[in-house]
Chains A and B, each alone.
Chain A
Amino acid sequence: MKYTEDHEWLNLDGDVVTVGITDHAQEQLGDIVFIELPEVGTQISKGDDIVVIESVKAASDIVAPLDGEIVEVNDAIVENPASVNEDAEGGAWFVRVKVDDTAQLDEYMDETAYKDLIA
């Protein structure tokens, strides 16, 4: 598992990475009321805004952590945005990305480094 400074978690399986937000992130956002996901097949570049999350407080974006193609999105969280508050690091993942170059993950933090960041 890898973590970004934007509080995303990345779980690599083969050349597909599952992207979600950390428990710390959902706590900071507060009650989530709306999520907009990209379409399957979308080509993304690192830094693109790919997901919109609105909480009771404000709107925020999830940026693409790497280059690739969206191969799967979690429609269940669109139906039930509050599930991200309950299970951010489990079932409430956001998108799966087929990555162009798995070496792009190397720059991200491991769990220990991320825990230091939010401590």
Chain B
Amino acid sequence: MSELKTTPLHALHLELGAKMVPFAGYDMPVQYPMGVMKEHLHTRAAAGLFDVSHMGQVLLDGAQAAVELEALVPQSVIGIEEGRQRYAFFTHRDGGILDDLMVANRGDHLFLVVNAACKEDDIELLRRNTALCRVVPVTDRALIALQGPAAEAALGRIVPVAEMAFMEVAVRPSDFGELWISRSGYTGEDGFEISVPEAAAEDFARRLLAMEEVAPIGLGARDSLRLEAGLCLYGHDIDTTTDPVQAGLTWAIQKVRRPSGSRSGGYPGDAIIGPKLSAADVDPDDRRRVGLVPDGRAPMREGVELFESESAETPVGRITSGAFGPSVGHPISMGYVPVRLASADTRIWAEVRGKRLPARVTDLPFRPATYKR
């Protein structure tokens, strides 16, 4: 195995007593001494600081950036107002999802945040498919997420952020250099993601961690937080074998890019995804991502097979994420089932350690988000 990469906050994680694990090629904190459960609850009650510097930050520079990016994603990129960002995904010509990302319009350029495990492929994809704009990977900045109800007050002591609404972006000068801030995150909480110059990242994190409300949070709690919020983890809940309709991500495809929209199609996989976006002809054998709540207390984790009855021989689906949800107080899972079994309250059976255990299909999210709209 090749050497693990480290983020600018690596030494700080060790100093804070983090348990480190390999993740997407990086040595990352999975938890701190507080433990996953308390870290999760702390984020929902106050504010959690997450090192997400392993994620890819990329600038798309040039007047045609939005036009060129629209050829790779089914989102309206041209329609993103200056100072705002939007959730998007790169699609494959087979209709699958290559990666999901955030796209911010920062006036004369776009700023993208992509998944760590996909960033090299994403940059390659962008370079191959853009002729008129420059693809500039940002490699000298850390990325820190500050999430939770106290995030605004905490970050507000360093730079003014109270005026920002959910999915707005801003560039602010600070004691730690220029901060690139978005009001967003991946926990279902209000909060921010802050890109900070590498050299000042540790000082910036220390300044936040010195505040009473702020605690460092590892990847373990990040996973249970995003799962409670019903958010997909790339490589688990979505990948090249799941299209956006199956994944329940059609809310992220704007009208203008759908069939009969003025910029309809024109992205990889449009011939497969486009027709599926018209609700009239749903194939009952197609599959859908759903939430699942076990009747009992045993967590149903990734890879667990799903069955239509207690005795059915052939699985009809599979769990893609599963954990105990500390805020909801019971185990929760996401997985794929046939359309005919995808409505809320449908009974489904999961095979855990050779035993069929009942679960119930449920609407997502498991816990409503608290974004500042």
* Same assembly: yes
Q: Is B269 an interface position by the 8 A CB rule?
A: no
Q: Is the CB of A33 within 8 A of B297?
A: yes
Distance between Cα atoms of A48 and B331 in the complex (Å): 26
Q: Is the CB of B36 within 8 A of A57?
A: yes
**A56-68 interface mask toward B, CB cutoff 8 Å, 1 = contact, 0 = none?**
1101000000000
Partner of B298, one of A31, A54, A56, A57: A54
Q: Is B299 an interface position by the 8 A CB rule?
A: yes
Q: Smallest CB–CB gap between B91 and chain A, Å?
A: 33
Q: Is the CB of A33 within 8 A of B35?
A: no
Q: Is the CB of A56 within 8 A of B331?
A: no
By a CB distance below 8 angstroms, the chain A residues around B326 are 56
Partner of B297, one of A30, A34, A56: A34
Q: Is the CB of B31 within 8 A of A59?
A: no
Q: Is A36 an interface position by the 8 A CB rule?
A: yes
Q: Is the CB of B224 within 8 A of A56?
A: yes
Q: Is the CB of A56 within 8 A of B301?
A: no
Question: Are A33 and B324 CB-contacts (below 8 A) given A56-B220, A57-B36, A57-B220?
Answer: yes
Q: Is the CB of B37 within 8 A of A56?
A: yes
Q: Is the CB of A30 within 8 A of B31?
A: yes
Determine chain A's interface SS by DSSP, over half rule.
strand
By a CB distance below 8 angstroms, the chain B residues around A113 are none
Q: Is the CB of B353 within 8 A of A56?
A: no
By a CB distance below 8 angstroms, the chain B residues around A57 are 30, 36, 220
Partner of A34, one of B38, B220, B224, B331: B331
Q: Is A1 an interface position by the 8 A CB rule?
A: no
B297, closest chain A residue (CB):
A34
Q: Of residues 284 to 332 in B, which have CB atoms within 8 Å of A's CB atoms?
A: 297-299, 301, 323-324, 326, 331
By a CB distance below 8 angstroms, the chain A residues around B36 are 30-31, 56-57
Q: Is the CB of A34 within 8 A of B35?
A: no
Q: Is the CB of A31 within 8 A of B331?
A: no
The count of chain B contact residues (Cβ–Cβ below 8 Å) is 17
**A33-50 interface mask toward B, CB cutoff 8 Å, 1 = contact, 0 = none?**
110100000000000000
Interface centre among B37, B38, B220 (most CB of A within 10 A): B37
Distance between Cα atoms of A33 and B297 in the complex (Å): 8
Question: Are A31 and B299 CB-contacts (below 8 A) given A52-B353, A56-B220, A56-B324?
Answer: no
Q: Is the CB of B298 within 8 A of A36?
A: yes
Q: Is the CB of A34 within 8 A of B301?
A: no
By a CB distance below 8 angstroms, the chain B residues around A59 are 299, 301, 353
Q: Is the CB of A31 within 8 A of B353?
A: no
Q: Is the CB of B220 within 8 A of A54?
A: no
Q: Smallest CB–CB gap between A97 and chain B, Å?
A: 21
**A82-99 interface mask toward B, CB cutoff 8 Å, 1 = contact, 0 = none?**
000000000000000000
Q: Is the CB of B297 within 8 A of A31?
A: no
Interface centre among B35, B36, B38, B324 (most CB of A within 10 A): B324
Q: Smallest CB–CB gap between B186 and chain A, Å?
A: 18
Question: Are A31 and B301 CB-contacts (below 8 A) given A56-B224, A57-B220?
Answer: no
Q: Is the CB of A33 within 8 A of B331?
A: yes
By a CB distance below 8 angstroms, the chain B residues around A31 are 35-38, 324
Q: Is the CB of A34 within 8 A of B37?
A: no
Distance between Cα atoms of A28 and B38 in the complex (Å): 16
Q: Is the CB of A34 within 8 A of B353?
A: no
Distance between Cα atoms of A34 and B323 in the complex (Å): 11
Q: Smallest CB–CB gap between A78 and chain B, Å?
A: 8
Question: Are A30 and B298 CB-contacts (below 8 A) given A56-B224, A56-B323?
Answer: no
By a CB distance below 8 angstroms, the chain A residues around B323 are 56
A34-B324, A54-B299, A59-B299 known; 16 new pairs, CB 8 Å cut-off, are A30-B37, A30-B220, A31-B36, A31-B38, A31-B324, A33-B299, A33-B324, A33-B331, A36-B298, A52-B298, A52-B353, A54-B298, A56-B224, A57-B30, A57-B36, A57-B220
Interface residues of B (CB under 8 A from A): 30-31, 35-38, 220, 224, 297-299, 301, 323-324, 326, 331, 353
Q: Which 4 A-B residue pairs are closest in the complex by CB-CB distance?
A: A31-B37, A33-B324, A56-B36, A34-B297
Chain A to chain B contacts (Cβ below 8 Å), 16 pairs: A30-B35, A30-B36, A31-B35, A31-B36, A31-B37, A33-B324, A33-B331, A34-B324, A52-B353, A54-B298, A56-B36, A56-B37, A56-B220, A57-B36, A59-B301, A59-B353
